[in-house]
């Protein structure tokens, strides 16, 4: 599996959405690009959705795929938007992450490979999971 820091990861045939690095750079602002395509992390308590509680859906910044629903959002106190479940099975993919001297599970959009954040096993019931997501990797679609 290719890392998003690999310049060829953008052409990974596993993803339904393909864009060149130049196309990603043109589509995303600098912070979104660093998070979504280079697996950077925004500072805690700095993203627009960490303390956002409107009803609706959170979509991928890269391809607009539905990733999370507001009903699954909770305050984990970590400074990033946290969800206890994905919107539907297969919306996100899990990738082993051995960076920064630790073992974690990275989560990416399963349609375009956008880096979203990580998932941990310290969330609330019923899943017991906490999807810790960068605001720069998602956008919000309010309920109408």
Q: What is the pLDDT of residues 76-95, one digit of tens each?
A: 999 999 999 999 999 999 99
The pTM of the full predicted model, rounded to 2 decimals, is 0.90
> Does 132 participate in catalysis according to the annotation?
yes
Q: What is the pLDDT of residues 46-58, one digit of tens each?
A: 999 999 999 999 9
Write down the pLDDT at residue 99.
Answer: 86
The dotted CATH code for 9-142 is 2.170.150.20
Cα–Cα distance for residue pair 32/53, rounded to 1 Å = 21
Q: Which of these is catalytic: 60, 109, 112, 132?
A: 132
For the chain, the structural domain boundaries read 9-142
């Amino acid at each position: 599996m290719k890392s998003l820091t690999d310049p060829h990861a953008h052409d990974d045939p596993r993803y339904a959405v393909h864009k060149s690095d130049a196309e990603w750079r043109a589509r995303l602002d600098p912070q979104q690009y660093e998070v979504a395509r280079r697996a950077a992390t925004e500072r805690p308590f700095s993203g627009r959705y960490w303390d956002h509680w409107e009803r609706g859906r959170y979509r991928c910044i890269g391809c607009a795929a539905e990733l999370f629903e507001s009903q699954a959002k909770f305050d984990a106190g970590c400074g990033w938007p946290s969800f206890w479940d994905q919107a539907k099975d297969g919306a996100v993919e899990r990738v082993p992450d051995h960076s920064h001297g630790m073992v974690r599970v990275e989560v990416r959009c399963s349609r375009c490979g956008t880096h979203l954040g990580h998932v941990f096993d310290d969330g609330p019931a019923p899943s017991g999971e906490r999807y810790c997501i960068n605001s720069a990797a998602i956008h919000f679609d309010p309920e109408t």
